[in-house]
Amino acid sequence: VTIGIVGGTGDIGEGMALRLSPVFEVIVGSREIEKARFTCDSGRETLKKRGQMCSLTGVSNQQAIDDADIVILAIPFKHLAGTLETLEGFEEKIVISPVNPMEKRDFFTFVPPPEGSAALLIKKMLPPSARICTAFNTIAANRWKSLDEELSYSVPVCGDDNEAKQEVMGIINRISKLHAFDAGPLGGSSMVESLTPLLLNIARYNKMKDVGIQFR
């Protein structure tokens, strides 16, 4: 499986690349190819020091889509629509959205678009054959990057295409101690996306860091 990360140079993209590239082929996309290459070079260096082999390639966002079976959209919500407008080739691809539309006001607040969630906005913008899943919304970038720590979190996954959802859940279950849970159709994504502002408020008001979730 080849996984392309659009915006893979960012906080969560970089962390995902570090955890995914020893297991899968990972292609890091960026608006600037040089930036993607730099992220890959430093990721390879980090993993090499740990004695881990990896497959990491830095390309443009468009190339990351073209060369991947599965595309992760690791872009801030406010730049999501603008970025999708510049990209194509999503037909038949599995597209994963970790995107959480939220704002820091007096406290962290879920601020979805009129479609109801980032995932449903993505569905509206991409071709109908794109198989969109919501996943990885509630794992903090710092945890992805702390390679000495196990990621023992639950990962709710929403999607309308069952085959795609099963594939995404299979990938999740191969990363560290992550445990994927079927959270129903894509229409339920707002509930998953709104967990993150909740977790950030819990962290803030209880003086905790990088709060995550476990279903049990």
Ligand X SMILES: NC(=O)c1ccc[n+]([C@@H]2O[C@H](COP(=O)([O-])OP(=O)(O)OC[C@H]3O[C@@H](n4cnc5c(N)ncnc54)[C@H](OP(=O)(O)O)[C@@H]3O)[C@@H](O)[C@H]2O)c1
Q: Which is nearer to ligand X, 31 or 179 (CB)?
A: 31
Interface region with ligand X, contact rule CB under 6 A, candidates 2-10, 121-129, 155-163, 166-174 = 2-10
What are 92's two structure tokens? 């038949």
146 contacts: CB under 8 Å, gap ≥ 6: none
Shortest approach of ligand X to residue 73 CB, angstroms? 8
Please tell me the distance from the alpha carbon of residue 71 to that of residue 198, in angstroms, as a whole number. 26
Contact positions with ligand X (CB under 6 A) in 111-170: 137, 139-141
Our finding on whether 30 is near ligand X (CB under 6 A) is yes
Q: Which is nearer to ligand X, 129 or 192 (CB)?
A: 192
Our finding on whether 179 is near ligand X (CB under 6 A) is no
Our finding on whether 100 is near ligand X (CB under 6 A) is yes
Our finding on whether 74 is near ligand X (CB under 6 A) is yes
**Strand 108-110 with 102-104, pairing:** antiparallel
Our finding on whether 7 is near ligand X (CB under 6 A) is yes
Q: What's the full length of the chain, in residues?
A: 216
- Residue with nearest beta carbon to ligand X: 10
- Count residues near ligand X (CB under 6 A): 24
Q: Which is nearer to ligand X, 129 or 208 (CB)?
A: 208
Our finding on whether 11 is near ligand X (CB under 6 A) is yes
Judged by the rule CB under 6 A, the positions of this chain that interact with ligand X are 7, 9-13, 30-32, 35, 74-77, 79, 82-83, 98-100, 137, 139-141
